[in-house]
Amino acid sequence: MAFEFITQPVFAALDFVFMPLINAFGPMLGVFLISTLVSFFITVANKLLVDQEKLQESQKKMKVFQQEMMAAQKSGDPKAMEKVQKNQAEFMKMQQAMMMNSFKPMIVTFVPIILLFWWMAAQPVINKMVVELPAFVFYVLLVPLFHMFYHQSAGVPYMAIEWLGWYILCSFAMSFVWRKLLGLKGAGM
């Protein structure tokens, strides 16, 4: 393996931290705890690295601009369209600044999360995990759409998700909770 000098100590540390939890509580709860911690890590990175007030202000300005553009298109008024086109350069700069601002947390969190996913995929106790969902939950959470993009392993029941699906489900739920608890504004991961 080309990156063994990096992965060996990282995997050993992850084994030390997470394997006792997984062995004690099982892989389902273990993956939930891991996704909770990662969601918290990402949310804190967003809180510390993204200016929330500026983000909210930019989102409001962009919403107003989009409404003006829609109104100008519907009216067919050439003067209104000209005004919107003049403001479009400012809109694009604002959009670019927002995007660059939102990349800061991703830069900080990307490598640790990739290493964690790599470790999880290498753990037989995790990567063989299957969570069977009740029919109602299966369809309400739109799992069939997820299955269109991420195909199940052979032998996994149709109304079930594997470790990655379970991780994503837990991560979305916990991200929402952490964002509310830490008072983050605007859209986020």
pLDDT attached to residue 135: 87
Binned at pLDDT 50, 70 and 90, residue 189 comes out as: very low
pLDDT attached to residue 2: 65
Sign of the torsion formed by the C-alpha atoms of 111, 112, 114 and 119: positive
Q: Taking Cα atoms as reference points, which of 139, 123, 131 lies closest to residue 21?
A: 123
pLDDT attached to residue 186: 56
pLDDT attached to residue 51: 83
In angstroms, the CA 94 to CA 58 distance is 7
16 vs 94 pLDDT, higher one: 16
pLDDT 10s digits, 26-54: 999 999 999 999 999 999 999 998 888 88
Asked whether 105 and 50 are in contact (CB, 8 A), the reply is yes
pTM: 0.78
pLDDT 10s digits, 79-109: 877 777 777 888 888 888 888 888 888 899 9
In angstroms, the CA 21 to CA 141 distance is 27
